[in-house]
Structure 1
Amino acid sequence: MKAGLLFLALVGTVLCDPKVYFNEEFKDESYTDNWVESTKKGAEQGKFVWSAGKFYGDADKDKGIQTSQDARFYGLSAKFDKFSNEGKSLVVQFTVKHEQNIDCGGGYVKVFSSDLDQENMHGDSPYLIMFGPDICGPGTKKVHVIFNYKGKNLLIKKDIRCKDDVYTHLYTLVVNSDNTYVVKIDNEKVESGDLESDWDFLPPKKIKDPEAKKPEDWDDRENIDDPEDTKPEDYDKPEHIPDPEAKKPDDWDDEMDGEWEPPMIDNPEYKGEWKPKQIPNPKYKGKWVHPEIDNPEYSSDDSLYKYDDIGALGFDLWQVKSGTIFDNVLITDDEKYAEKYGTDTWGETKDPEKKMKEAQDEEESKKREEEEKKRKEEEDAKKDDDDEEEDKEEEEDEKEPDHDEL
């Protein structure tokens, strides 16, 4: 290869290298040097512990931070060199495992600006992006994708269902510089679109013309009563009539019981309420549609995706039942790199993790069966002992002489 071509190839390689802004795999307990715990909630603040949990694919690689106390707030954050995602993609990715079979609690991350007050981080701390699963009962099992725009937190208008089993899952959010986005779970796309359509960043482009009103002579009745239709003379039959087969009881006393009246029954000749038949309305003009005009308050924004100061990531959660493990946190500008990183981390251990859990479940099932078998055997043995004792007592009673014989 000629020197010029080699130089261009090397330059191209450098320019294509992904930028990793933040990466945390919690490989050892020194992770605490980079993370700051919030103390805002005082005694209600829960503790993260370093653990791979009760089942895993690799005892070392699968260690992450795990919520350890029930009914607690959790707050933990880390800062990194601040950057802007202007003109490039922003990818936020992490793994989460609800091995406790979570009933109500968050499993999401928040991305903050560099001025985050880490020790006082709490639910009302301003953030840029909130992303990840949230579960509470059977009704809430969603993936949150919330963006802060001009001081307001905007929720996605689509419903993205999260995973609700006990295994580790990979969550990825890609925000592109063309104002599009992708949400992935386990490296598979589950939702995508454009920011302006799926969030209320901007006022609507069109609004109903406030000056327009439906004309008074506008007839939007598709069908009308037939003016030629008349009710048949024999149509007016009562809905209920006295039972013709009913007879006054022999013991009925008019003075004591009042005047006897036969019970009412459904009238077999009753035809219901009469209504004239419908015919097409000759004056029908169709459904009136309110005309729209350009919204004077609308202004396009090509930079919906952009944040000028991205400098921290945190876990700000509430959990009723603890046990969630977070790991493999990544912020980069390259979707393909994030996908490969997910394959090399979560992808390598997900199957062994499931295999270990299934083996544990099988062992637990066998243990329960053995305990049940042992319990039944003990009950049967006790019943046999009771029956034997009862037989002995009956034999003793038979041996004792009758008082009449003495």
Structure 2
Amino acid sequence: MGIQKNVCLLFIIFTVAFANEVDDFDEASVEVVDEPSNIDIPYSSPTPFDSSKVYIAEHFDDKDKFDKNWVKSAAKKEGISEDIAKYDGLWAIEAPERDGLIGDKGLILKSKAKHSAIAAKLSRPFVFNTKPLVVQYEVLFQDGQECGGAYLKLLTDGPHTSSLANFQDKTPYTIMFGPDKCGNDHKLHFIFRHVNPKNGTIEEKHLKPDNTYDVIIDNKLVNSGSLLEDFTPPVNPPAEVDDPSDKKPADWDERERIPDPEAVKPDDWDEDAPAQIIDENAVMPDGWLEDEPKHIPDPDAVRPDDWDTEMDGEWEPPLIDNPACTDAVGCGKWEPPLINNPKYKGKWMPPLIENPNYKGKWRPKRIPNPDYFEDKYPFKMQSISAVGFELWSMSNNILFDNIIITEDITVAEDWAAETFNKKRLKIHKESESIIEKIANLTNEYPALWGFYILVLVLFVVGILYLCCRPSSSASHKETEEEPVETDKKKTDEVTEDDQEPILTNIDQSEVANDEDKEKYSDQDDDDDEEGEVEVESEEKPSSEPSLPKSGEGEQPVRKRKPRKE
């Protein structure tokens, strides 16, 4: 079935074989031909390679040809109101809104919620005999499919096909085929109208949903079956039917089991005992507020200004949940709960036993079917001489294209290769991912593998270089750690490295004690003896902590002389 993005090709084949060949129905299928592998997708209006086997081939690219061959219905639908009975839906020849090929056009249903019908004659009637029938067309729901159909009718040859302006739902058809949807009900209609060879009546045969009939859409198997066996009602009626005059006897007993007539209800069986009783052992839970009602009048409610006591009665505020019950176990009058009654047995019924008079399920006797016939060749349907779309849909902008009816499957396949396959190929190309495009380009130009390998090698080399090269911080560290003692000038001058940090925020009261004085004094004496430290100014203890300042009152600065080797 068609989807909003992809155009759908509907394809059905009928074949038949007669005596001295194959005595059954061969095949009926809907299928899509595989997409071509070439990338070039030029388009020109298709032409069947063997027109002698074609009954209609319409690509809708030629507006003048369309106006000449196709007739819009001017009929009215029967049995409905006059204002909606007319077939006034709009049809147009336009290019697809998207994904179309340059120069390709289609027949578009422009109206929704209107009855729409249009038809065209075949070049000659198709007679169902020994030649197969191949019907193929495309449908694209450009705005999605809400509720409605997109099926094609093959109109039965007769007087009504001579005036296609009167085409409507009552116009006889031989085959109806195509998608239909409303809500969650999806269908692929395949209906053929069968003529009863015995009395000449016509009956629609609908394809059943579960069978072995081959119906393939977009290369997916949807159904499979045969004209003889897998339609409902069946083509051939049953040889026997129930006798309508046969009636079931009055004494016919169909009961397999019956109540035991000898069973007696026990004396202690109390049918009046209730199923549940009050739990006598239940106790009101602690915290149950029996004096608090579950609901109280809303204290914030105000009587409306337009309240009329005479008309509306005495005003009462609305009730709200009692806030006092929010955290309580319960409120209001407490009642014990109900429990199952151990003495409850319910209504007594006698046990069932085998029915000694059982005769089985009654069925009327079978008699030969007075309407029985056997049609071995249901393929021999009524000849067709026109095709048409007779639709009502809640979806507009439904596009139909490339209708072909032929007796040769290869003609239909070639027609699809020039139309449908190219559209699918374009959609596929436009939806390709970057990886798919690179893969396709590489398949076309294998020399690109060398370029890919070169890029990969350069990438790997770059990664290795970034991971293994010396870091700038390590190189700088090695430079700083090089020995410089041989280059230093031996001098007593204070260098930048010799000057120790100045101590700040020293609590003089803590270091003014005798032990600290001796400690610092001994350390200074040791330094003086070694001739390595000089004190420029004597430290004066103070009861208040002092901070280093520029100028007077600075902390003592120690100068370290380089040691002599």
Same fold (TM over 0.5): yes
1:301 aligns with 2:375: yes
2:267 equivalent among 212, 221, 233:
233
Residues 199-348 of structure 1: pairs in structure 2 closer than 5 A: 199-200=232-233, 201-210=235-244, 212-214=246-248, 218-237=252-271, 238-239=273-274, 243=278, 267-335=341-409, 337-338=411-412, 341-342=415-416, 345-348=419-422
Query: Aligned equivalents of 1:344 and 1:275: distance in 2?
Result: 78
Structure 1 residue 43: Cα displacement: 7.0
Task: Select which of 157, 164, 187 maps to 1:142.
Answer: 187
Provide the secondary structure at the position in 1 that maps to 2:111.
coil
2:165 match: secondary structure: helix
Q: 1:343 to 1:290 in 2, by over 3 A?
A: farther
* Counterpart residue number, 1:158: 208
Let me know the Cα RMSD of the aligned residues.
Answer: 3.7
Aligned AA (2:352): Q
Note if contact 1:206-1:295 (Cα within 8 Å) is conserved in structure 2.
Answer: yes
User: By how many angstroms is 1:314 displaced?
Assistant: 0.7
Q: 1:353 aligns with which of 427, 430, 454?
A: 427
Q: CA deviation at 1:212?
A: 4.2
CA deviations 1:16-40 (Å, max 9, x no partner) are 9993222212233233322112222
**1:78 aligns to 2:129 (yes or no):** no
1:191 to 195, 202, 223: 223
Query: Are residue 25 (structure 1) and residue 75 (structure 2) matched?
Result: no
Distance 1:244 1:82, change over 3 A: closer
1:65 aligns with 2:97: no
Q: Report % sequence identity.
A: 39
Describe the SS at the equivalent of 1:233: coil
Amino acid at match of 2:398: T
Q: Shift of residue 67 of structure 1?
A: 1.0
1:127 aligns with 2:183: no
CA contact (8 A) 1:55 1:357 kept: no
The SS at the match of 2:97 is coil
Q: Residue in 2 aligned with 1:11? A: none
1:92 matched residue in structure 2: 135
* Alpha carbons of structure 1 residues 232 and 325: separation in structure 2 relative to 1, 3 Å: same
CA distance in 2, matches of 1:147, 1:190: 18
Counterpart for residue 118 of structure 1: 164
Task: Quote the offset at 1:159 in angstroms.
Answer: 3.6
The structure-2 alpha-carbon separation of the partners of 1:233 and 1:348, relative to structure 1 and needing over 3 Å to count, comes to: farther
Q: Give SS of 2:423's match.
A: helix
Shift of 1:291: 3.2
Structure 1 residues 273 and 55: CA distance shift in structure 2, 3 A: farther
8 A contact 1:18–1:332 mirrored in 2: no
AA aligned to 1:276 is P
| TM-score, normalised by the number of residues in structure 2 | 0.48
Q: Which has the higher contact order (CA 8 A, sep 6+)?
A: 1
Secondary structure of 1:112's partner?
Answer: strand
Q: Could you tell me which residue of structure 1 aligns to residue 74 of structure 2?
A: 39
CA 1:243–1:313 in structure 2 vs 1: closer, same or farther (change >3 Å)? same
The one-letter code sitting in structure 1 at the alignment partner of 2:179 is P
Tell me which protein shows more helix as a share of its residues. 1
1:107 equivalent to 2:150? Answer yes
Q: After TM superposition, give the deviation of residue 295 of structure 1 in Å.
A: 0.3
Q: CA deviation at 1:142?
A: 0.8
Q: Does 1:53 align with 2:96?
A: yes
Distance in 2, Cα, partners of 1:302 & 1:18:
29
Larger strand proportion of the pair: 1
Cα 1:339–1:120 change in 2 (3 A) is same
1:215 deviates by 5.1
Cα distance in 2 for partners of 1:51, 1:25 equals 12
CA positional deviation for 1:235: 2.4
Q: Secondary structure at the match of 1:46?
A: coil
TM-score, structure 1 normalization: 0.65
The structure with the larger Rg is 2
Shift of 1:132: 0.9
Q: Distance in 2 between matches of 1:184 and 1:241?
A: 63
1:246-294 residue CA offsets vs partner (Å, 9 max, x unmatched): 9xx9xxxxxxxxxxxx999864422222222223334444333433222
Q: Tell me if structure 1 keeps the 8 A contact 2:151–2:389.
A: yes
- Note closer, same or farther for the CA distance 1:187–1:88 as it changes in structure 2 (3 Å cut): farther
Is the 2:193–2:205 Cα contact (8 Å) retained in structure 1?
no
Q: Report the Cα distance in structure 2 between the residues aligned to 1:355 and 1:285, rounded to whole angstroms.
A: 71
Counterpart-to-counterpart distance in 1, 2:359 and 2:147: 53
The count of corresponding residues between Structure 1 and Structure 2 is: 311
Question: Aligned-pair distance for 1:333?
Answer: 2.4
Shift in CA distance, 43/128, structure 1 to aligned 2, threshold 3 Å: closer
Change beyond 3 A, Cα 1:135–1:308: closer
| Cα deviations by residue, 1:297-323 (Å, 9 ceiling, x for unpaired) | 112223432245321101111122211
How far 1:239 sits from its partner (Å)? Answer: 2.8
Q: In structure 2, what is the Cα distance between the partners aligned to 1:288 and 1:343? A: 60
Take 2:145 and 2:171, find their aligned partners in 1: how far apart are those partners? 25
Label 1:349 to 1:270 Cα distance change in 2 as closer, same or farther (>3 A): same
Q: Is contact 2:149–2:392 with CA below 8 Å preserved after alignment? A: yes
